[in-house]
Amino acid sequence: MVNLLQQFHNLMNPQHAEYIGTITSVSHPNYKVLVDDGSGLVMCTSNVAYNLGQKVFIAGGEIKRPAPTGSVTQIEV
């Protein structure tokens, strides 16, 4: 049986924050991603091949999915 309260809690409190970055080095499955908030390079892994210069979402040292193109705005919560 699915615990709905636990799933809701996990959605509201993610284990790893997601960031948007640009891939600067490609050596599948290892990538170097430059995070757009200015914090620097992050080593990431991925099961999917990505291209140099592509924008991606990263979390916990893993590339999650492609990110939309355009400017990034930080919203403080």
Distance between CA atoms of residues 52 and 35, nearest Å: 14
Distance between CA atoms of residues 32 and 26, nearest Å: 7
pTM, to two decimals = 0.72
- Host H or E run for residue 34: strand 30-35
In Å, how far are 37, 61, 73 from 56, measured between CA atoms? 13, 12, 15
Q: Which residue is associated with the tokens 């592509």?
A: 54
pLDDT digits (tens, 9 = 90+) for 23-74: 999 999 999 999 988 889 999 999 999 999 999 999 988 999 999 887 777 7
